Structure 1
């Protein structure tokens, strides 16, 4: 048995993508953006959503026409060749040791508040988070999707409670008047806020598991982006109303601070539960997509190997366990070395943007008509963002260059 089960419905797909896009971002990005642009951050969210639409729509068109667990790597193969496909595939996998453990550590920070004292250490919470990730993934995409849909609903209820308890009215929802001086802070805020929509490329790996990918996959991407964007905007309204921004404390603790002021200290435990769930949901989709990338490469190159096999639940079990093992090892190394998690996140972001860029480049060749023009706009946006990354883009370029060089050597040996 070497085929994934088609279990993802439209509703569970929207739930998975929206929770992935919200993830840890909801707990810090609105406050950071407000600190940069103040009330003009409300405009920045709208501009960001408009800018992300070409990228999301292009991924939707690719996933609709080419549903495959290989995601962007498969799109690149269809557009170019197998050597470039392998390079993009392993480029995406290279995010495991630098990006995912950092996100696991953020989720574990919330989990620590829920664990009893003997086992509430940072490393213990991280390893327990990894174990939960592996367990949820082994249950299958259907169970995972249902879980993330429940998490998405809890996040929306939380934001709705803030709007209600905070007494948000029409005046608070009024958009500020844009002036010439506001363009710079809006642009600066956009540079931070873009990362709230990193996750669409991971969702592309799930296209093969949709019950009706041609109809539901593109709807899930657009609806998921809209739901996440609306939630970020609403949370920003509350943060601006109560001035929960402008200091390093609010950068990562604006929501706990708001909950304590609006609902009292007893609400803290619930915030920890929702915070862990949101972070967990974000990391969960990446764990799924990374294991499916490994499985897709194994299916293509060694179809009889253990990594190419799937369980009775239709899950790439060995690939999932391998990804979980690397995550656990990376968490241990990161904990004992004391390396800066922010540094690793910047390296991971460079990989994500380069993967976006390669997907848009493939779309430019694969799609036709209006979809091709849309892909061209999305490609230009990705190039601008990649250049803006500065020094961190060297990590992605270095890894990609090494992978291309190795692929060329393998091709030369095969020819000889």
Structure 2
């Protein structure tokens, strides 16, 4: 990774509005756009588009809360800094660990998902698939070593390609759309629409990730909120368009819902549509992994600065001023997680539930911080309370994975106790 140094004048401010929007869009639009529209339509029928509309509205307060907090408190600590400012170091550290210990599992899951789409077309075995997943993670880590300016430029290109391909899928499906596919509109009852809205929440996680890059925003007071609003609009429009055309072309049903985007695009483009979807999946997974790896390495740096994580987490590259200590920690974790998946010790579907729980816990912490720190802003007050009620209401439905944040709290308290004992002995 080149020369390292623990001495730092701080992180470089290199992210303008286009890069901020690209990072947000890349973080939020994940593999869900490939899977969820068909599954939602199968669950609630044509009325699933109402669930998409509802979720597109409900996530706006969450996005606004994160944007306003980033504008006021730009820091590599992201949500943990907001919570620390509002409720003190102990709670801020816990939230920082929530996020940091989500990404070591989340990023490999993304890379394996992207590699699997290629594997189906190329008829690869397990070894080739996981080798490709490893290459994706190496590429993302390398971009982040070179700096967020390089990573953000790549992100802008990748997100532009994702948007182009999704628009192509929607336009290509237009000739096959029919109003007949909207009847009956609510085949499974209105309760199914509410249940589907809960399913769709996973498509909109990601607003918290870019808060950790806010210290590198150019003019965060101006660009943080503008960036999040542009991103929310783009994400909602893309999701809704894909979901609407999935229903309009009836590209869902038994055995095909999980591949609805591929089914929809092949209506006009034939087998080449499968390749387009595979390339889209690869781009989406790279973009999301890039955003989360960048954010996690910054929170590792921030926790080291607060002296609540190993000091080597805070090591910066001598030339690029990037948190290579945090990136090294993530790289080591990636090796372990990919190995666990490769040898079949844990199923991918089960593993994904764990980081989901800590991401939700991170959101709850951020919303609680917004309630206290944005009291002087009417918009901020409404946004933070709305998103807090929404996320707290969701948490009990996480099942056994809800215990993972509890384990992280235990780790955080143990580290705090260890440091206190060490300080007492030194004195």
Q: Settle same-fold status: TM greater than 0.5.
A: yes
Give 3-state SS (helix, strand or coil) of 1:98's partner: helix
Distance 1:280 1:85 in 2: 29
Aligned match of 2:159: 152
Distance 2:298 2:106 in 1: 17
Match of 2:321 among 297, 306, 314: 314
Aligned match of 1:346: 353
Aligned match of 1:185: 192
Q: Is 1:367 matched up with 2:364? A: no
- Number of aligned residue pairs: give it: 415
Q: Aligned runs of 1:130-149 on 2, under 5 Å?
A: 130-149=137-156
Deviates more, 1:217-226 or 1:391-400: 391-400
Q: Is 1:84 matched up with 2:76? A: no
Q: How far is 1:41 from its partner?
A: 1.3
Q: Aligned runs of 1:366-385 on 2, under 5 Å?
A: 366-369=373-376, 370=378, 371-385=380-394
Q: Is 1:69 matched up with 2:60? A: no
Contact 2:34–2:281 under 8 Å retained in 1: yes
Aligned match of 2:304: 298
Q: How far is 1:10 from its partner?
A: 0.6
Q: Structure 2: any 5+ residue segments left out of the alignment?
A: 1-7
Q: Is 1:390 matched up with 2:396? A: no
Q: Aligned runs of 1:328-343 on 2, under 5 Å?
A: 328-343=335-350
Contact 1:43–1:175 under 8 Å retained in 2: no
Give 3-state SS (helix, strand or coil) of 1:199's partner: coil
Contact 2:46–2:181 under 8 Å retained in 1: no
Give 3-state SS (helix, strand or coil) of 2:218's partner: coil
Q: Is 1:128 matched up with 2:135? A: yes
Q: Cα deviation per residue 1:20-79 (whole Å; 9 max; x = unaligned)?
A: 211211110111111111111111111102111111111111111000010111111111
Q: Is 1:258 matched up with 2:258? A: no
Distance 1:248 1:66, change over 3 A: farther
Q: Cα deviation per residue 1:108-162 (whole Å; 9 max; x = unaligned)?
A: 2134468797997122112111111111212211222222222222222222223
TM-score (norm 1): 0.91
How large is the RMSD of aligned CA atoms in angstroms?
Answer: 2.9
Q: Structure 1: any 5+ residue segments left out of the alignment?
A: none
Q: Aligned runs of 1:216-295 on 2, under 5 Å?
A: 216-251=223-258, 253-295=259-301
Contact 2:119–2:125 under 8 Å retained in 1: no
Contact 1:72–1:88 under 8 Å retained in 2: yes
Aligned match of 2:114: 107
Contact 2:95–2:361 under 8 Å retained in 1: no
Match of 2:334 among 302, 310, 327: 327
Distance 2:135 2:31 in 1: 18
Distance 1:378 1:44 in 2: 17
Aligned match of 2:5: none
Aligned match of 1:8: 15
Distance 1:365 1:344, change over 3 A: same
Q: How far is 1:12 from its partner?
A: 1.4
Distance 1:182 1:112, change over 3 A: same
Distance 2:188 2:247 in 1: 19
Give 3-state SS (helix, strand or coil) of 1:33's partner: helix
Distance 2:129 2:323 in 1: 29
Contact 2:181–2:248 under 8 Å retained in 1: no
Distance 1:26 1:254 in 2: 10
Contact 1:24–1:278 under 8 Å retained in 2: yes
Q: Cα deviation per residue 1:301-335 (whole Å; 9 max; x = unaligned)?
A: 28995432322223112321321221122101221
Deviates more, 1:312-321 or 1:33-42: 312-321
Contact 1:172–1:241 under 8 Å retained in 2: yes
Q: How far is 1:171 from its partner?
A: 6.9
Aligned match of 1:403: 412
TM-score (norm 2): 0.89
